[in-house]
Structure 1
């Protein structure tokens, strides 16, 4: 997590970004179901807490995709969770969500980027002038009328949690070296052994996108409070990690030997 003095606005632009679905009656109607107001681009609402703090919520809705049951459930839960959290806030806060769509052949990935701030209870005393601002990523990939899991991209019998760290190693290391805050390459906690799929920083590869030419993994998917390595010593700083701190872009060509043909396999 990071502490900022103000609200962060983010623009989501990436190679392979597909134009957002046309906004028709689906988005405004669904926004109304969520208890929000449609402003032509976002579904917005405000919640006043027991302590008279205001949380402003702004959600981008992906057009007709709100009719997809999986996406519909995710967006409904997100709105409800942000409303529930708002009730206990002691300072003004915000929740903001954007989305990206990537397409490769018949496969489509929708990436939701959540940004939220605010302090609850004693957190406000610890950081009176610095609201906690956090990021999180939720991703959904569909093809052939069903939702795909990461293993579905790979040939039968292939374990993606073994092959991604092996074949994607140079690209994961490059992402670790480039991750914020600026640091010396290869220094803790930005070392590959702390970001394998069985370690907390990786988010178990839960947040991933299939782009036209890459497998993009957002690590971790949600903020991580702390990491305690096996060789932990009292003098070693314990790190928290914001969602999406490391974004590993692994070319599909690097994974081609183990991918299914329709996803770039050989």
Structure 2
């Protein structure tokens, strides 16, 4: 039986939470029985979902390294999730120690772990804002304490827009955030995907989403690759476009990684 994390105020451990289920799939310990039960229920429908979580995390690392290699030294990471190996600031500051990162999340458990997220290098900076991504005004105002919005920023929206069920609202959030960014910025999105391909069963993903929501978990929706691409419409979509997280500029390998039901894309703000 895994060690149980110590409950902190305002955390409801009677219903699953997406960040804790994700943590369970990644092999973390900051989850409760209800999260593991929901995670196992999804695994029965989508046996590859744990691999999807790991590929999404690997995509974050590759995307951050790509942005740093293109001169980005500031990151706004919304929907941070629970701390795990190679968070945005760790990847960025390993290459560019002066990088500045602001994390945003509305989960009180993430707030409880925020100190682990703020172990910045001396040359750089980290901050954490407790806020909902729908509240773009307060998010941008808070982030401006650490980031200079006159300079390019890497806007990270990994696994968070799938919690905005309304397509127009999701697009509006992205648009409002992009309007605050300077030319030369980048938008990075990963999103639960209901694509049906030779390797992915879209109906299984839809069933898995219903399973979590019926258990009282965080609302979630899966979108098609075309819908995810529209979320990047305010930018110039970079190659290879919107693809499985496992296939976005993968590290050299003699074999091709299988598709996972989490797709991603990176766009440049010219």
TM-score by length of 1: 0.25
The structure with more radius of gyration: 1
Bigger strand fraction: 1
TM-score by length of 2: 0.25
Bigger helix fraction: 2
